[in-house]
Chain A
Amino acid sequence: MSEDKSKYLIQGFQDKWEVVIGLEVHAQVSSKSKLFSGSSTTFGADPNTQVSLVDSAFPGMLPVINEYCVEQAVKTGLGINAQINSYSVFDRKNYFYADLPQGYQISQFKNPIVGEGQITLDLKTGTKKIGIERLHLEQDAGKSIHDLDPSNTFVDLNRSGIALMEIVSKPDLRSPDEVNAYVKKLRSIMRYLGTCDGNMQEGSLRADVNVSVRKEGDEKLGTRCEIKNVNSIKFMQMAIEYEAKRQVELLESGKHIVQETRLFDTKKNETRSMRSKEDAHDYRYFPDPDLLPLNLDKSLIEKIKKSLPELPDQKKERFIKNYSLSPYEANVLVSEKEVASFFEEVIKTADKKLTTNWIIGDLFASLNEKNISISQSLIKSKEMAILINSISSGLISGRAAKEVFEVMKDTGADPVQIIEEKGLKQKSDPKELEALIDKILEENTDKVSQYKSGKDKLFGFFVGQIMKVSSGTANPQLVNDILKKKLK
């Protein structure tokens, strides 16, 4: 049996251990108002300014569901190839905490709005399908701030009641890399659909990570621990690595894994048990009597289905087929809908290969450097196309283009203008180039002789001199050709 070197395994003292991971992703629905109340959902507002009487659970307050949130859940369900349940029920999940004003969270337990689904990951080792158990709608809780006062906690209910889609994966993930790909794919799909903005810094996307280990080859699942509320992919990966090692060490020393909820400590980079969970919670789920069962019209589901945009997988296939891109290139270009649109805009008038390279290379580098998205980029598709065309047409050299790009990324200026101002027009007139070349050869007759007697490396010297004297604007290809002829 050949060893699959791509498998992620923890090396213990004697055995190799496989890590089994399941993710419960909480994605904030991109609605303007909350799931059951009319308060705003914008990020970063002053404490308790986006809170209604319903959100703070005053006596006699009642929930009314937001139709947009229902539609986004259906859309997302369709985007992950899942079954849409036309009958679903909202249940109360009962527990006490300062940021849970009702003393219960309205969620869905036995009858979620979306059933089983599946998404495909593109990994270095190939594609892998990850099963999804279900998707349901639920309320987010408020925020407890513990560090503003030594003996008190401050409670902000702005977030309380915001709509979340909880997407539960099957325990099909096997490595931090797969988790990375899974979260990115899920995020990409939701951003394509517009159902969640996937902004992890603002808390729009976070996950509870379930980790267990088992000896390589074992079929039975080990006892899992749940690492709650991890809000970045990097932390998810670090938490998994730490937790898997912790569990392997425990098992190898003959101890048992206690099924428990843990937190990832981002300062110490380790997981630890949540001490406040003395007994396991008994959530006493029961259908919320202030709400009725949700019945979705088949016609509504059909309407939403028809309105779906092209999703990443479909777009990737189309890009590979129509534009002859490699799977890797297609993958990168479709990861964000805005990038894919940008690409397709540019290639309407510009060369595909060059565009691909410039977007994946220089453009992405500049976006990363500035920490902005493509929609915030100062370089628009029109200008990008012009720049690339000026290379294709020979107007400027590839090297000069990089210089132009540097200016464009900070100013968004028209490349043609920049080329003019900097005098970067490529010299491609053979007569003009001949004259330049002749001059250089005349000034360096000794080197010419040396070259002719075998010192091939001097070719580069001549090219260099020609570039220097022409301020880099000599057409390199032509210079090459002409120089070759003259040095025969």
Chain B
Amino acid sequence: MSIDKDKIKHTAKLARISLDENKIESLSKDLSNIFNFIEKLSKINTDKISPLTSILDHSLRTREDKVTDGGIRDKILENSPNKNEEFFIVPKVIE
């Protein structure tokens, strides 16, 4: 199955990754090969099977409603490439 360039561009936009125009050709080739490989699954009949929901036996565990975290602003902001004492700082979205 071939993945055309427009599909790749649209997917890249969804994934917020910018693509080099000159790399799209080889990317298209690579992805098409990979999808050909994956296509194998279409051969198998899964009409009567439910998709796997969990490989674990137990059900979702819950925790008590208690405040046990937070209040660590310095730690939270420490690694940010752009911040001030209180906030993360990012370029504006164009509204």
**Most interface-central of B64, B68, B87 (chain A CB within 10 A):** B87
CB atoms of A33 and B91 under 8 A apart: no
Binary interface profile of B, 39-75, with partner A (CB < 8 Å = 1, else 0)? 0000000000000011010111111111111111101
| Residue in chain B with minimal CB distance to A103 | B16
Asked whether B24 is an interface residue with its Cβ less than 8 Å from the other chain, the reply is no
Give every chain B residue within 8 A of A3 (Cβ-Cβ): none
Cα(A56)–Cα(B83), bound, Å? 14
Q: Which chain B residue lies CB-closest to A289? A: B54
Looking at B63, B64, B77, B94, the one whose CB has the most chain A CB atoms below 10 A away is: B63
**Cβ-defined contact, B67 with A40, below 8 A:** yes
Stretch at the interface among A44-52, A118-126, A387-395: A44-52
Within 8 A of B (CB), among A281-336: 282, 284, 287, 291-295
| A242 at the binding interface (Cβ < 8 Å) | no
Name the interface size band of chain B: 35 or more
Q: Are B91 and A32 in contact (CB under 8 A)?
A: no
- In the complex, how many residues of chain A place their beta carbon closer than 8 angstroms to a beta carbon of chain B? 52
A residues less than 8 Å from B6 (CB atoms):
none
Chain B binding site: helix, strand, loop or mixed by DSSP? loop
Q: Is B38 an interface residue (CB 8 A)?
A: no
Does chain B have a CB within 8 A of A37? Answer: yes
- Do the beta carbons of B87 and A293 come within 8 Å of each other? no
Let me know if B59 and A293 touch, CB within 8 A. Answer: yes
The complex places the Cα of A89 from the Cα of B86 at a distance, in Å, of 35
CB distance from A59 to the nearest CB of B (A): 10
Tell me, in angstroms, the Cα distance from A154 to B85 when the chains sit together.
Answer: 11
* B67 cross-chain contacts in A, Cβ below 8 A: 32-33, 38-40
Report the Cα distance A69→B73, complex, angstroms: 25
A341 at the interface (CB under 8 A from B): no
Does any Cβ of B come within 8 Å of A477's Cβ? no
Q: Given A31-B65, A48-B86, A155-B90, decide whether A276 and B95 contact each other with a Cβ distance below 8 A.
A: yes
Contact of A292 among B60, B84, B92 (CB under 8 A): B60
Structural contact, B59 and A292, CB atoms closer than 8 A: yes
Closest Cβ of chain B: how far from A103's Cβ, in Å? 8
Q: How far is the CB of A81 from chain B (nearest CB, A)?
A: 25
5 further contact pairs, Cβ within 8 A, besides A152-B90, A156-B87, A294-B60:
A52-B76, A64-B62, A98-B88, A146-B92, A287-B53
A residues lining the B interface (CB < 8 Å): 31-33, 37-40, 46-56, 64-70, 89, 96-98, 144-146, 149, 151-157, 274-276, 279, 282, 284, 287, 291-295
- Could you give 11 example pairs across A and B, Cβ below 8 Å? A33-B68, A38-B69, A48-B86, A50-B71, A53-B76, A68-B65, A98-B88, A149-B89, A152-B90, A153-B89, A284-B14
